[in-house]
Amino acid sequence: MSTAELQQKIGIERSYLGHLRAGSKHPGRNKVIVLCLAAELSVEETQHALLSTLYARNRRDAILLHCIEKRLGVNEANDLLDDYHLATLHADDEKVGR
Residue 71 is assigned to a structural domain of this protein: yes
Spatial separation of the C-alpha atoms in residues 35 and 4, rounded to whole Å: 13
Residue 78 is assigned to a structural domain of this protein: yes
Spatial separation of the C-alpha atoms in residues 58 and 65, rounded to whole Å: 10
Q: What is the pLDDT of residue 25?
A: 86
Q: What is the pLDDT of residue 92?
A: 53
Mean pLDDT of 6-28: 80
* Domain enclosing residue 78, as ranges: 27-96
Residue 60 is assigned to a structural domain of this protein: yes
Residue 89 is assigned to a structural domain of this protein: yes
CA quadruple 86, 17, 38, 44: dihedral sign: negative
HSE at residue 95, side-chain half, CA atoms within 13 A, is 7
| Reported confidence tier of residue 90, pLDDT bands at 50, 70, 90 | confident
Q: What is the pLDDT of residue 21?
A: 80
Q: What is the pLDDT of residue 91?
A: 64
Q: Which alpha helices (H) appear in the chain, and where do they start and end?
A: 3-10, 14-22, 29-38, 43-50, 59-69, 74-83, 93-96
* More confident of the two residues 12 and 91: 12
Residue 80 is assigned to a structural domain of this protein: yes
Residue 39 is assigned to a structural domain of this protein: yes
> What is the count of structural domains for the chain?
1
Residue 10 is assigned to a structural domain of this protein: no
pLDDT in tens, 26-79: 888 999 999 899 889 999 999 999 998 999 999 999 999 999 999 999 999 999
